[in-house]
Amino acid sequence: MSVHPLAGKPAPPSVLVNVPALVSAYYTRRPDPGDPAQRVRFGTSGHRGSAFSCSFNEDHILAVTQAVVEYRREAGIEGPLFLGMDTHALSWPAHQTALQVLAANGARVCYAKAFGYTPTPVISHAILTHNAAGGPRADGIVVTPSHNPPTDGGFKYNPPHGGPADTAVTDWIEARANALLEAGLEGVRRLPLDAALRTPGVAERDYVTPYVEDLGEVLDMEVISEAGIRIGADAMGGSGLAYYAAIRERYGLRMEVFHDHPDPAFAFMHLDRDGKIRMDCSSPYAMTGLVALRDRFDIAFGNDTDFDRHGIVTPSRGLMNPNHYLAVAIDYLARHRPGWPGGAGIGKTLVSSSMIDRVAAHLGRRVVEVPVGFKWFVEPLLRGEIVFGGEESAGASFLRRDGGVWTTDKDGIVLALLAAEITARTGRDPGAYYGELEKAFGSPAYTRIDVPADARIRARLQSLSAEEIASDTLAGEPIEAVLTRAPGNGAPIGGLKVVARNGWFAVRPSGTEDVYKIYAESFLGEEHLRRIQEEAQAMVARVAG
């Protein structure tokens, strides 16, 4: 994919979204349920779309929220529903729509005080904290499209386990929501907003204080404070903007916070690789502004709009590759969490770096490799079967210091502050720490490319079998494994992974675009990586016909 000429540049006025027009479209445009692009469709992170394209409008949220209410009834979930939203322009009206439907159906609802913003991990933390105390089970909704452009909206449901809903749940909600759309919303119950806010069981909640007060259970906040390191935190105008201020005050940190006011146009952003505004804290283009300030701080970090992802900026390396930081976090935590269960494993997605495998082997920890999607870490984290779960797209969570569960959704705040703990305790930033890992285990080259593919090819890739890979070698090395199911849990990976000693590739068809993705890594350098990519495309071409 070519780099846009404005990538990494401040967003010009010409690319900014017309926020009033977008919100107006949310209320005035009606989706056509006969058009597949305008129906409710849950991906790995909920339903997403734009009001301009009739894929995220009031009708969608009315239908989806009613479907969630009915799912809760079927599943016997009678506790409070924790409702949160991020700072995208469409999140505010969608949050109000959801609140109206929930109240009309008699649900107990907790929403942020003064209609504040709430990160995804805070909702997960609230669900787990409530459910640990016993009584009727709680669940939650987060209105967010994550790091997607300002034109987009999103809606995620988290069941009582606190993490992303699995496919069985989202399929049920999606089917019921689309049936409601087809019926012209007959069956959807709704109250006016002022009446909804007066409904018994609907109440404001201080989400900030319990989460901030609990941080000492998962991080060594004292060592960060006592070290007095200089910290730069870029809230990126996202849902955690009030949290960093509260954390700074509560723990006495030397922390400067940037972009801590909401701007639904996100006009302060630098453009991403494709020339769009995207609050992707793992993108060197989107993070240009914070990277330019790296020498002012001992450690700096940013988060995407719902604060479930992290971007770590160090004086030694600038913005860290997410895979590199995951390896550092795993190595450090395994050495500084004596309360963690000794037999528990390290969770990684199958497209994450094999550096994690090498680090885990040295630590004597088994690796639990699962398909793409944080939902696969939910139950293992709850049961203490893994101490850490991380994915290559800069999302992770880990156990409390005593070995109890913290969150079962990605927590960008905790992963960001962990970088400060690492810096404070070891005297070197995570970039320098990764340099030590490279000396011990090698220096991998990693990349992902998108290859054009029509629906036929994508469907073919979904159904590949290991026997269809006729080659015995990959870039000159014997193939050690051909996987269509994840070795950590046996679940289908929706594609294929081919592994050799010093390199691997994985192929996954996109569910939303006319491309398939090739993830590849080599411990033998860039030229070897290119050979792996070329052979991967050739293998796909042969089996896809």
Catalytic residues: 146
Which of 101, 24, 26 is closest to 57 using CA atoms? 26
Question: In a 3-state reduction of DSSP, which class is residue 229?
Answer: coil
Sorted by sequence, the CB contacts under 8 Å of residue 17 that are 6+ apart come out as 89, 149, 150, 151, 264, 265
Write b or e for each residue in 174-183: b if 16 or more Cβ atoms lie within 10 A of its Cβ, otherwise e. Answer: bebbbebbee
Angle between helix axes 58-75 and 167-182 (nearest 10 degrees) is 130
Residue matched to tokens 């004292």: 222
The DSSP secondary structure of 372-410, one letter per residue, reads SSGGGGHHHHHHTSEEEEEETTTEEEE--TTS----SS-
Q: Pairing mode, if any, of strands 202-205 and 109-112?
A: parallel
Distance from C-alpha of 215 to C-alpha of 221, rounded to nearest angstrom: 7
DSSP state of 320: P
- Report the alpha-carbon distance of residue 329 to residue 422 in Å, rounded: 8
Residue 183 CB contacts under 8 Å (≥ 6 apart), including other chains: none
- E-assigned strand segments in 425-514: 445-452, 473-474, 477-485, 492-500, 503-509
Q: Is 261:241 a contact under the CB 8 Å cutoff?
A: yes
**Given its phi and psi angles, is residue 76 left (phi above 0), alpha (psi -120 to 50 degrees) or beta?**
left
In degrees, rounded to 5, the angle at the alpha carbon of residue 376 between the alpha carbons of residues 107 and 84 is 30
Residue found under tokens 């404005």:
6
Which residue type sits at 284? P
Alpha-carbon span 410 to 431, nearest angstrom: 22
The single residue listed with the structure tokens 């994690």 is 356
Residue 507 and residue 496 in contact, taking contact as beta carbons nearer than 8 Å: yes
Measuring CA to CA, how many Å separate 356 from each of 344, 368, 434?
Answer: 15, 11, 12
How distant, in Å, are the alpha carbons of 40, 206, 229, 249, 364 from that of 300?
38, 27, 10, 18, 31
| Element (DSSP H or E) covering residue 63 | helix 58-75
CA dist., res. 124 & res. 409, Å (int): 6
By residue count, the chain amounts to 545
Q: Which residues contact residue 292 at a Cβ distance below 8 angstroms, ignoring those fewer than 6 apart?
A: none
Number of Cβ atoms within 10 Å of the Cβ of 338: 9
